[in-house]
Amino acid sequence: MSKQRIIRSIIAIIVLLAAAAYIAYQDAPKDRQRATPRPTATPAAGFDYYLASLSWSPTWCESNPDDREQCGRRGYGFILHGLWPQYDSGNGPQDCRSNEEPDQQTIARTLAFMPSRSLIDHEWRTHGSCSGLAPGAYFDLADRAFAALRIPPPLTATARPPAMTAEDVRSAFVDANPGLQATMLGVSCHGNSLAEVRICLDVDLQPRQCGRGVGMRCPRKAVLRIPLIR
């Protein structure tokens, strides 16, 4: 066999192998041709601390009786409204770009302290997406933050709240939580009714001084209306 014929034979074999490889590639399942990258949340740009917002559920349920998931059962006192990234200068990042959302296992765990699927969804989209964490990690952090805060005995689910002013509520939280100072939290009201207690935490979930805009948002010196747990 001449040298030219050998070369032509080699070229023909190469062409046949290339054609076979191309056909195999076209027939391969799409998920094997190109792996889909795992979506990740876009990190927030340098927030300074977290604000743990504890909501007095009976006040919410008075105004939102149609929220059957949170308000259709008995026993909720304080729940976790949210864990919000904040700036020292006031407010914080919101609605950051993210392709992720909480999976069903994360939602099931979170319902223990944030008992509303619509609230969980809202808190992830509005605040969690700006934490720089994936949904599971963000809600695990929220769980740790809520679990670390001690609810004062007069405001637990088994107690009948006494007459208290906003300052009394703040002092009760300070007394119940070592390391917490009056300048590290605020109390908010809906009219004259206790609505929320907001506690400032560093990124390690330790109490810290609050930034601008966190403070007392209740009638001064007035005895608050604290709806009973249903």
The single residue of 62, 100, 101, 127 carrying the catalytic annotation is 127
Rounded to an integer, what distance in angstroms lies between the CA atom of residue 30 and that of residue 57? 48
The single residue of 69, 122, 123, 190 carrying the catalytic annotation is 123
- Pairing verdict, β 193-201 and 49-56: antiparallel
81 is catalytic: yes
DSSP state of 228: P
123 is catalytic: yes
Of 86, 182, 168, 102, the closest CA to residue 139 belongs to 102
What's the half-sphere exposure (Cβ side, CA atoms, 13 Å) at 131? 25
Rounded to an integer, what distance in angstroms lies between the CA atom of residue 3 and that of residue 171? 97
Annotated catalytic sites, by residue? 81, 123, 127
